[in-house]
Amino acid sequence: MKLELIQGDITKVAADAIVNAANSSLLGGGGVDGAIHRAAGPELLDECRRLYAQGGCPTGQARITKGYRLPARHVIHTVGPVWRGGNQSEEATLARCYKSVFALVEANGLRSVAFPSISTGIYGFPITRAAPIALREIQAAFARLPQLEKVTVVLFSSPDLEVYQRALTQLSTPE
Ligand code: ADP
């Protein structure tokens, strides 16, 4: 399996798909969502408006669009949970986001996908708790999907990258 953790801007990543941490309207927002829409151009919003008319994307689910002006061929939009203290099934819902994304990766025969750190920005999910969930789901996808060649997690800041690197070490060498 080829898992890469990098620091950078996900809108610059050339992959079969990049993942957007969207909101359930799919009509754009701040953070990585805003950056992806700015870089993809207005055609992305047009396609998202059509998905909005069909109900948008409920929390924990995912929807796929084209990538338009992005170097990535597709965008897979998923809606992470808003952190409400940890007793509202936030961890299970976050895991479901990753599963929903990989179901679309499988259905569309994609071989490479790049993720941001879903829910850990505006939605307030503690990144130290999100990182092991993300990495466990990515490892499970590698085990399940022979087509999958490369998964990149793109962290926006170097402290975030360090959290993911530490979580990966702890997953590979459990006490
Ligand atoms: P959410 O609403 O799911 O919390 P955010 O977009 O607020 O989504 O934040 C998710 C993560 O994406 C945060 O760690 C944020 O720093 C990061 N982020 C913001 N812009 C980019 C970008 N261009 N590339 C990669 N990550 C980004």
Q: Of the candidates 7, 9, 11, 79, which has an alpha carbon nearest to the alpha carbon of residue 44?
A: 11
Reported as a single tens digit per residue, the pLDDT across 155-173 is 999 999 999 999 999 998 7
Percentage of residues in the chain with pLDDT exceeding 90? 97
- pLDDT higher than threshold 70 for residue 146: yes
What is the rounded CA–CA span in Å between residue 127 and residue 119? 8
User: ipTM of this complex > 0.90?
Assistant: yes
Question: Is the separation of the CB atoms in 79 and 117 below 8 Å?
Answer: no
Give the pair of three-digit tokens for residue 46: 């047009």
Mean confidence (pLDDT) of the chain:
97
Distance 175 CA to ligand 1 centre (A): 31
- pLDDT higher than threshold 80 for residue 136: yes
From the CA of 154, give the closest atom in ligand 1. 25
Give residues (CB < 6 A) around ligand 1: 9-11, 21, 31-33, 35, 80, 116-123, 154, 156, 160
User: Span 145-163, mean pLDDT?
Assistant: 98
DSSP of 91-143: HHHHHHHHHHHHHHHHHTT--EEEE--TTSSTT---HHHHHHHHHHHHHHHHH
Does 16 participate in catalysis according to the annotation? no
Percentage of residues in the chain with pLDDT exceeding 70? 98
Q: Of the candidates 69, 77, 71, which has an alpha carbon nearest to the alpha carbon of residue 48?
A: 77
Q: Residue 51 gets which letter from DSSP? A: H
Query: Nearest residue CA, atom 23 of ligand 1?
Result: 9
What is the rounded CA–CA span in Å between residue 142 and residue 147? 9
User: Span 102-116, mean pLDDT?
Assistant: 98
User: Span 132-136, mean pLDDT?
Assistant: 98
Reported as a single tens digit per residue, the pLDDT across 24-72 is 999 999 999 999 999 999 999 999 999 999 999 999 999 999 999 999 9
What is the rounded CA–CA span in Å between residue 47 and residue 50? 5
- pLDDT higher than threshold 80 for residue 1: no
Which of 9, 16, 33, 160 is an active site residue?
Answer: 33
Given this model, what pLDDT does residue 166 score?
98
From the CA of 124, give the closest atom in ligand 1. 4
What is the rounded CA–CA span in Å between residue 76 and residue 104? 8
- Pocket test residue of 117, 125, 155 for ligand 1, highest count of atoms within 8 A of CB: 117
At residue 37, φ and ψ (nearest 5 deg) are -65, -40
Residue 131 — very low, low, confident or very high, per pLDDT cuts 50/70/90? very high
Distance 98 CA to ligand 1 centre (A): 15
Given this model, what pLDDT does residue 174 score?
66
